[in-house]
Amino acid sequence: MKKYELMCVFKPNLDAEEVDKIIEKINSVITEYGGNVDSVDKAGRKKLAYDIQNYRDGYFATTVLSLPADKVAEFKRQLRLNDNILRTMFMETVGV
């Protein structure tokens, strides 16, 4: 299994509990696909460099995870289906 880093920007109209529930849902999908969640870093609400879907800020969270290579495409599809996520950045970590 390779290690990946996932950064998500959530809609700013969600409260902290809702963001936590979405992060837990993402983590459960990762374990469902046979992966592991190493760490979750919630950076909180920050201003965006430019508007995304007419939002000027969003909640940021970064997750370090391991996932089987054959499940990556399906996991990315699951992220795109979530309406509360404005933007994601999913990258493979090298040398960590």
43-73 pLDDT per residue, tens: 999 999 999 999 999 999 999 999 999 999 9
Which residue in 78, 61, 59 sits closest to 13, CA to CA?
59
Domain 2-88 is classified in which CATH homologous superfamily? Ribosomal protein S6/Translation elongation factor EF1B (3.30.70.60)
The residue whose two tokens read 């509360």 is 84
Per residue in 8-49, pLDDT tens?
999 999 998 999 999 999 999 999 999 999 999 999 999 999
Q: Where are the domains of the chain?
A: 2-88
Return contacts of 74-79, CB within 8 angstroms, 24+ apart: 74/33, 75/29, 75/30, 75/33, 75/35, 78/29, 79/6, 79/8, 79/26
At 24, give phi and psi (nearest 5°).
-60, -40
